[in-house]
Structure 1
Amino acid sequence: MTEAPITAVLFDMDGLIFDTERSYRQAWHYAAKEQGFELDDALYLSMIGMPRTQSEPKLARALGPGLDLPRYRQQRDAHFRQLQRQGIPFQAGFEPLFQRLTACQIPTALVTSSRMVDVEENFAQRPYLSQFATTVTCEQVQRGKPDPEPYQLACQRLRLAPAQCLVVEDSNNGIRSGLAAGCRTAMVPDLQAPDSDVQAQVHHLLDSLEQLLPTLADQFEPGRLG
């Protein structure tokens, strides 16, 4: 059976569009050290792609009852904001890819585990946020990635079947979410290498966003990319 052509592209944000994951990692480690903890990097990497409603309880269980979570949250977020104000760059290939999709009138969605305030801060002074057909943030779903709900909601808003939508992610949890929603998937790893289950199931594994259109151009509707 022939697969339906790709009709829309659904983007994660942190680590895929923006080079934010290194700043997040620095902020998470900083806040842990402020309370005398050493945050295991493997623990941090396992939480990439999760909303804070899932990652913070996981952190608290790992570090134990001595962690003051509200204080940790405040210090982590303040440190990240300080880094964010210095400017967080786009990942290589995002701007020409997004501009091409927009010029060809291919719908796009932003599907992120971050809050809307973080989305708006990252895209401040940049023209792209309003060009997404829809944006799904952690406040808009009950269950975040790796649950399929975020990508299911994006597909519903676009009025497209999941099989018509390409999910582009940098994290294992994000790819699991897209797969569970029934979408096509492409992983562009950033800090996190693909786990064995993800590597076995992901449709495309790319080195950068610059490879996406050259690799997948024939899977879009004929003539759609010009």
Structure 2
Amino acid sequence: MNKSAIDAVLFDLDGVLIDSGPAHLESWRRLAMELGIAITDDQFKSTFGRQNRDVIPMLFGPGNDPERMHEWSERKEAYYRELIADRVPIFVGATGLVRACHRAGMKCAIGSSGHPKNIALAVAALRIETEISVVVSGQDVSAGKPDPQVFLLGAERLGVSAARCAVIEDAPAGIAAALNAGMTAIAVASEHPREHLNRAHLIVDRLSDLTPARIGGAAQQRWS
């Protein structure tokens, strides 16, 4: 396989294209304070890449009914959007990489555990509406990362086989999801140390280190 055989790139959003970690932490803490619960940084980091339906039991304990969990989730995401509404924290090189992949003939998609409104806000701020052909959110799938559903559905909607897709991720759960989908997994060490991402086919320190050629090269090495 060579770089021309990578037909699509699926981008995670949080921690890859936007530096949303601080706003997510603050919004979870705001909700937790209302519920009389404290959240540590380590607890928060353990939730990266996961859907709220999985995060809430991790942070607030099991046994909450689905209706209550949905209300908490919607409240938390509303807090998050309030925090970033005036300035979405875009990573250096994010818009440029998506556009470069598109120019190179690679179809581009977002595969995120996030809320559809969060994704729409970020895509607009990144100014990549033209380049992104498909968006898959946490509400489109029944199981979150490391289950591969989000990426497999993205590939299906793009009309591209999993073997010809590359995934850009920042979290161990996301890397596992990409591998479980049979895709080339590329990790950006923006939130996690490299040793936690070492299952990826390629690890870079920052998004601006990536180019379409490096993405294709990771796939080529995988299959060589």
TM-score by length of 1: 0.83
**Root mean square deviation, CA, Å:** 2.9
Aligned residues: 217
Q: Is the 8 A contact 2:52 2:73 kept in 1?
A: no
Mean Cα deviation higher: 171-180 or 80-89 = 80-89
Aligned residue number for residue 207 of structure 1:
205
Structure 2: give runs of 5+ residues left out of the alignment. none
Aligned residue number for residue 155 of structure 1:
155
One-letter code aligned to 1:110: I
1:119-130 counterparts in 2 under 5 A?
A: 119-124=119-124, 126-130=126-130
Counterpart CA distance in 1 for 2:75 and 2:8 is 38
Structure 1: give runs of 5+ residues left out of the alignment. none
One-letter code aligned to 2:202: H
Aligned residue number for residue 219 of structure 1:
217
Report whether the alignment pairs 1:187 with 2:187: yes
1:5-24 counterparts in 2 under 5 A?
A: 5-24=5-24
One-letter code aligned to 2:135: T
1:105-144 counterparts in 2 under 5 A?
A: 105-124=105-124, 126-144=126-144
One-letter code aligned to 2:18: F
Greater Rg, structure 1 or structure 2? 1
CA separation of 1:78 and 1:202: change in aligned 2, threshold 3 A: same
Mean Cα deviation higher: 152-161 or 179-188 = 152-161
Aligned residue number for residue 55 of structure 2:
55
Q: Percent sequence identity over matched residues?
A: 25
TM-score by length of 2: 0.84
Deviations 1:57-113 (A, max 9, x none): 22221799xxx8677546533432221212112111111111212222321111010
1:30: how far off? 2.5
Counterpart CA distance in 1 for 2:88 and 2:180 is 30
